[in-house]
Amino acid sequence: MAFSTGFLRAVSLVLSLPLAAYAQNVIGPVADLPIVNANIAPDGFNRSTVLAGGTFPGPTIKGNKGDNFQINVIDQLTDNTMDTPTSIHWHGLFQKGSNWADGPAFVTQCPLVPGNSFLYNFNVPDQAGTFWYHSHLGLQYCDGLRGAFIVYDPQDPQASLYDVDDETTIITLADWYHIPANQIVGAPEQDSTLINGLGRFLQPDNTTTGDLAVITVQTGKRYRFRLVSVSCDPNWIFSIDGHNMTIIEVEGVNSQPLTVDSLQIYAAQRYSFVLEANQPVGNYWIRANPDHGPVGFTGGINSAILRYEGAPDEEPSATNPPVSVAPLVETDLHPLVPMPVPGPHQPGVADVVQPLVFGFDGVNFTINNFTFAPPTIPVLLQILSGAQTAQELMPTGSIIELPLNSVIELNFPNPGGAVGQPHPFHLHGHNFFVVRSAGNASYNYGNPIARDTVNTGVGDPNDLVTIRFETNNPGPWFLHCHIDFHLNAGFAVVMAEGINQTAAANPVPDAWQQLCPTYDKLENITVSSAPFGGSTIASGTASGFVSGRVPSGSASRSISASGGVSTSNTRLVTSFTGSSSAPASSTNA
């Protein structure tokens, strides 16, 4: 759907307002979400960006458990130094019955193109907690398209533990780059850390400028903070000087209260924690120290301020961070109420046991010796068009078929074969049980935490991460490293769950069927290149794995009544020729 000039004038007005005006912008569960270009300077350095709603981070989308969400995404991107199509993923939401709305480009849809809108219409019947949304096309979310998505539970079983839980208690952690992400050459390194959209970068003379985010609390109150890593790359050690944090939720799963004084949070992970405002009135550093890039806290980098009501408007006087004596350990996290791990409680005994072996060939990443190259026809469209098995689906070697109503065990052995670890892996469409955590040799089938993004470790040759879940959600679901630069270089596979049941379980709207024909008609479009060998931006051309398909101006697709693909000058599906020596999955009766 094209949009009106009146709407464009409204967007222009929005972009003229100060960034601070959007610090607590909240929309939903029914809302328009314009995707626009704007120049902002969240760390003092001005650059063009891709933003949801004209702000960074984008407006918080909120609703309640059981709500129907209708988010009308409107693409108004014009800056050809970055991607101009877009596609949005609602991270952590299962999308049961609406796989088409999950968002990853060329897995469940073709991208939305400039001058058009697309309505993501989905239900959240049985989830509550802390989620987020981001672009799922190329490196676009690294340029700004990311925001929090909160689903409140009016019957929260842990509501007695806190007094305040609203838009003022959301904390986002972001890495920020001073050039478009698709222009970064070599291993990426952020220029700054942004907390709630503000931060500082360390200049060559070791000085800093710029405002820091301030979170205000009142003495005696208990606050439920929702910590969201919207990272493209780094992980952070997060802490608040002088205060403990009691974790009560992990990625939409209520957890037994666990008190820590610091936590390591990886790209795409989320935690809710309760903080008691029980310290003397004053200012306290909020710290998020990254694992690489500008580290430490010189001049207020990697920092925000916790300010008690009545404290002076000044920065904290403390310089050195306290020594952590109670850091978060993943194996200490347990569900609040029993969540039985499916299948026999024994390693390697499940309906499908699938090893996922990481590799890196100097340019691209591999899983089981194959690099994911986005196909010409989205995987979901291939399935709806009659594909019956993984062997019939593209890209070759990157589709793993999973039978419905089965117990699945995925093993991530020593990740040292892939540079840039630790790699946080995210599975769309599911939570999973972490029955063996990174850096831990024991298995827990009794009460492990369930989540949707897991750290896979740092290359210990004896390390192994094992997750378990049950296939109850037909559709193609992306499994990938959530370091976006790694995904952009092919670090992913697709779990094709219940292939023969997918069409019946996921009726698609007419507007979805028009996404690919509309995308294919474009003759001038900006797409990104894989970052590790440098990149070139050009209209109508692409290299690398970000897009996998570039409009030629003549191809079109639609689902015919018989289920086949109707094409006109349809391009061949991109495939990647990889080794056939990948470890085979094992199936147990």
Give the active site residues.
Answer: 89, 91, 134, 136, 423, 426, 428, 480-483, 486, 491
The alpha-helical segments, DSSP class H, found in 457-546 are: 484-487, 502-505, 510-513, 515-521
With helix as H, strand as E and coil as C, how does 353-389 read?
Answer: EEECCEEECCCCEEECCECCCCCCCCHHHHHHCCCCC
Tokens of 375: 């196909």
Per-residue CA distances from 123 to 126, 131, 148, 427, 479 (Å): 9, 14, 17, 19, 22
Q: Which amino acid is at 27?
A: I
* Of residues 367, 365, 424, the one with CA closest to residue 398: 367
User: If you search the block for the tokens 């399935």, which residue do you land on?
Assistant: 383
DSSP secondary-structure letter at 93? -
- Measured distance CA(468)–CA(408) in Å, rounded: 6
**Which burial class, exposed, middle or buried, applies to 502 when counting CB atoms under 10 A from its CB (0-12, 13-18, 19+)?**
buried
Residue 497, helix vs strand vs coil: strand
Position 538, amino acid:
A
DSSP E strands: which ranges in 177-302? Answer: 192-195, 214-217, 222-229, 236-240, 245-250, 253-260, 263-265, 270-276, 283-290
